[in-house]
Amino acid sequence: MSLALPLDARPTDPALEGIIKLAVLAVGGQGGGVLTNWIESVARSEGYHCQATSVAGVAQRTGATIYYVEMAPGDVAAPVFSLAPSAGDVDITIAAEMMEAGRAIMRGFVTPDRTTLIASTHRMLAVSEKTVPGDGMASSEEVKAAAEVAAQKLILADMDGAAVKVGSVISASLFGALAGSGALPFERAAFEEAIRASGKGVEASLRAFAAGYELAQKGETAQPQQPASETKALAAPAGSQKSRDAWMGLEARIADLPEPARDMARAGLRKVVDFQDIAYGGEYLDRLEKLVRFDSHDREFELSREAAKYIANAMAYDDVIRVADLKTRAQRFDRIESEMRLADGKLLQLTDYLHPRAEEIVGLLPEKTGRKLENDPAWMKRIDRWFNRGRRIRTDSLRGFAMLYFLGGLRGWRRKTLRHRMEQDHLNAWLERVSECLPDRYDFAVEILRCRRLVKGYSDTHARGLSKFDKVLAGARLVEGREDGPKWVERLREAALKDEKGTELDGALKTIESFV
């Protein structure tokens, strides 16, 4: 017969009481190995026996790895350490990303009777989150709520942001948070000495260490609210006096719009002018004003705000010219260099992958010629064979950059192309559909406007989005006479955003067909 004793009544080996068990969960590139080395170094410098192991993973993001450290006081003779953490038997858990904190809780590495959980609140999206056409981001609030219940002591803060602000990386700020938590019996100076002993990026790491230490001690302080400021006029684009005068005229038209729609209209105007030219900005406001006249204060100008946003998105579509333009802008290279944290004297090799389909090539041709080729299967097959293969272009080289720069400079040609005519026809048909609903079916018109969210991206991504958009609008025809029609359009749109293949959307359409 066996007898089960309560956990607190079971006999324990006194020699085990001084052993500290620590798990670090990090994503590839976050410096989990460096953090583990620092922890191991500080423990040994304080006279502790220490062992560190790691179990690499490749299933999430760039590989989520579990690092495990066990340490015991020096007076423990010949300790035998475990190679991996066990559920319910971890004293300190460090998660370098919010979902990794959730994974630690699910694995049982966080328990309310003993575990100090230190986690960064920032996000690095998993592949499953990135592949959702809509917003596939998992809820950090759910993880936070679980952590508050699961941990004995909880330290949550944006450790990545704190490190980046001082020119370092998250491993150093997490190390500082570990020191500030008081979970290890070592003085702050010992932690800092471990960083100095590593000999690499010492000053920056110490700054991030100090930031993490302060966050652990005092927590994140609320950012002071910025006083509301008056909306400033958009800076006029560079160009001739005639262009600047035309721009001022567009600004004056925005000032005549309802106040709740002005900010979005300004952003939309900037986007379409950046995409093409000031005349194109005038076309944007022409389309917007036609819908604004149906709006009212009683409706809080919801129609106007949505129209300002989605008309701009539709007019600034991604074609070959736009993609090449964006890839050769100075801001892009500055952003990449910042993200890669390039030090002085280091070189960056940048390779862009392009995979144009026959449709993209034909879309660059004049409308009449493009239509003729598009309707000729033999020519489309031939063009697809010539161009539809992956190309790697070194945009850090003169040849590769010049090629894309030339394509990006063809915006003056864009209005003559088949692709532009197709986009304009589709845009006009969509807005005509919205206008049909006004003024009597206001809510229905708003939902039709929001459906433009489905159309995004370039090449295959754009084609899939366009197909879903057309399906949703076809489904909307079936419910336009119903009182709950706007809700059904919203459900169709959200279903279309849930998966890439459109399985959810097809199911929603079948549901509508069953009762119509």
Q: What is the pLDDT of residue 60?
A: 46
Q: State how far the Cα of 433 lies from the Cα of 477, in Å rounded to an integer.
A: 10
Name all domains of the chain by residue range, CATH numbers in brackets: 18-218 (3.40.920.10)
Q: What is the pLDDT of residue 152?
A: 94
Burial class (CB in 10 A: 0-12, 13-18, 19+), 25: buried
* The pair of three-digit structure tokens given for residue 349, joined into one six-digit string: 């090799």
Tell me the pLDDT of the chain (516 aa) as tens digits. Answer: 333 334 444 444 555 567 899 999 987 767 888 999 999 999 999 999 999 998 876 544 445 789 999 999 988 888 889 999 999 999 999 999 888 899 899 999 999 999 999 999 988 776 666 666 666 677 788 889 999 999 999 999 999 999 989 989 899 999 999 999 999 999 999 999 999 998 888 999 999 999 999 999 987 653 334 444 444 455 566 667 888 889 999 999 999 999 999 999 999 999 999 999 999 999 999 999 999 999 988 889 999 999 999 999 999 999 999 999 999 999 998 888 877 777 767 788 899 988 888 999 999 999 999 999 999 999 999 999 998 888 899 998 999 999 999 999 999 999 999 999 999 999 999 999 999 999 999 999 999 999 999 998 888 888 899 999 999 999 999 999 899 999 999 999 999 998 888 899 999 999 999 987
Q: State how far the Cα of 208 lies from the Cα of 163, in Å rounded to an integer.
A: 5
Distances (CA, A) of 90 to 41, 60, 318: 20, 23, 50
Checking DSSP bridges between strand 92-95 and strand 64-72, what pairing results, if any? unpaired
What string of H, E and C letters represents the secondary structure of 342-379?
CCCCCCCCCEEEECCCHHHHHHCCEHHHHHHHHCCHHH
Distances (CA, A) of 394 to 125, 390, 401, 402, 459: 27, 13, 7, 10, 21
Q: What is the pLDDT of residue 201?
A: 84
Q: State how far the Cα of 12 lies from the Cα of 6, in Å rounded to an integer.
A: 12
Q: What is the pLDDT of residue 309?
A: 96
- DSSP summary character for residue 22: E
3-state helix, strand, coil in the chain (%, to 5): 55, 10, 35
Burial class (CB in 10 A: 0-12, 13-18, 19+), 10: exposed
DSSP string covering 137-175: PPPHHHHHHHHHHH-SEEEEE-HHHHHHHTT--HHHHHH
Those residues with Cβ within 8 angstroms of residue 460's Cβ, 6 or more apart along the chain or in another chain? 357
Contact 429, 477 (CB under 8 A): no
Distances (CA, A) of 46 to 187, 254, 297, 388: 9, 67, 69, 62
Interaxial angle between packed helices 442-450 and 418-436, expressed in degrees from 0 to 180 and rounded to the nearest 10: 160
Contact 394, 348 (CB under 8 A): no
Q: State how far the Cα of 60 lies from the Cα of 152, in Å rounded to an integer.
A: 28
CA 475-480-483 angle, 5° bins: 125
Q: What is the pLDDT of residue 63?
A: 58
Within a 10 A sphere around the Cβ of 83, how many other Cβ atoms? 10
Those residues with Cβ within 8 angstroms of residue 216's Cβ, 6 or more apart along the chain or in another chain? 118, 155, 157, 176, 177, 178, 179, 180, 181
Q: What is the pLDDT of residue 10?
A: 43
Q: What is the dihedral of CA 102, 107, 108, 110, to 10 degrees?
A: -30
Residue type (1 letter), 496: A
- 308-319 CB burial, b ≥16 within 10 A, e <16: bbbbbebbbbbb
β-bridge partners, 252: none
Residue type (1 letter), 59: A
Half-sphere exposure of 109 (CA within 13 A, CB side): 24
Contact 54, 33 (CB under 8 A): yes
C-alpha 100 chain-centroid distance: 17
Distances (CA, A) of 95 to 22, 25, 47: 11, 5, 26
Distances (CA, A) of 186 to 218, 400, 427, 510: 19, 54, 65, 64
Q: What is the pLDDT of residue 446?
A: 96
Q: What is the pLDDT of residue 507?
A: 93
CA 389-393-396 angle, 5° bins: 170
